[in-house]
Structure 1
Amino acid sequence: MDTLKDFLPIIAIFISLLALIVSILNYFNVKLNRKISEKQFLNRQSMFSLYLNNSYAYIKDDKKYTLFNVTILNKSETKNSFIATLEITYSFSDSLSKVKIPYDRQTLTKVKNLEYTFYETNITVSEKETTTKWLIFEIPSKLEGAIIDKYELNFIDPHNYSQSVTSIILKKLPDEI
């Protein structure tokens, strides 16, 4: 019995060391699971990029239109939808003003002979998808004679995450299309 009492402190130290090792392994396991959860959470968040490929000015029946060829890269692991607006910075004299025009695919009905693929009014892009299509905007008649400083396309998703691309110069689209 004396020999068992002699080994009790050694057994207690061994059990304590074993509990310490299990606690350390559990800590690293929790830390790893947290990193994985954070990565999964971030992958589900809104992440997208915009690229402006082309921009044109088009005149049809004395109305002016702008056309933009835009690529949307949805980096998220979830489907995303966007609302597009065109913000035009212009001036008639020294001061700059801005006008915002929401994207509406129905504008396309006014210009029937364009053979491009256009985004729907509510733009939707699937997870991890890249899509390239056209946007068309009718320029308000109040900008007749204005000096246009820039055209800025803004895309906003339901979480209010936004991206924008800017064009300063528009190429003229031929009338014979």
Structure 2
Amino acid sequence: MSKEVKPLFLPLKGLYFDLFSDGRKTYELRRLRGGWNLSQVYVGRDVVLSYGYGKKYRKEAMILAVKSANSIGELISKHSWLWRQINPLADSPEAMISSAIDLMGDGPVIAFEPSFDTLSPAECPRCNHPITCWDGLDIGSRFDCPYCSAPLKAVGDHFIAPGVQWPVFHTAH
């Protein structure tokens, strides 16, 4: 009789949860130690992304890809495109590596891609509530979600039918 594997719990700082939620961040990077190892983090495993340790904002996902290396520099050297997927706010691979080392130290690492349903246009990336107060917003407009107070920015339009368009929002980080 096999034991059911519980989803991997991935608590994230608000900034990184929001970047995952709006699709700008697609990979998570952790030091390869403790529960963050290749026997626990594998393709097909369910994972729960959480805004911190609270239960209010969570997203269920499944791991689609896993990469590991002896150091952060080696990981980025092997997969040169990966730096922007891990930290889309970094200006360069060197800046991403430096900030990651400052945060977690250097040593063996694991990077993995959790996949979850993407948002519909005009939804808050954090709480998934539809945003209905977007009339008159221009691309670049910033405002707070009326439901969860996430800072939002209108980043484009999504056409859902001829002549009908909805805005697309990112968190304003």
Give the alignment's TM-score, normalised by structure 1. 0.26
Q: Which has the higher contact order (CA 8 A, sep 6+)?
A: 1
Task: Select the structure that is richer in strand.
Answer: 1
Larger radius of gyration: 1
Task: Select the structure that is richer in helix.
Answer: 1
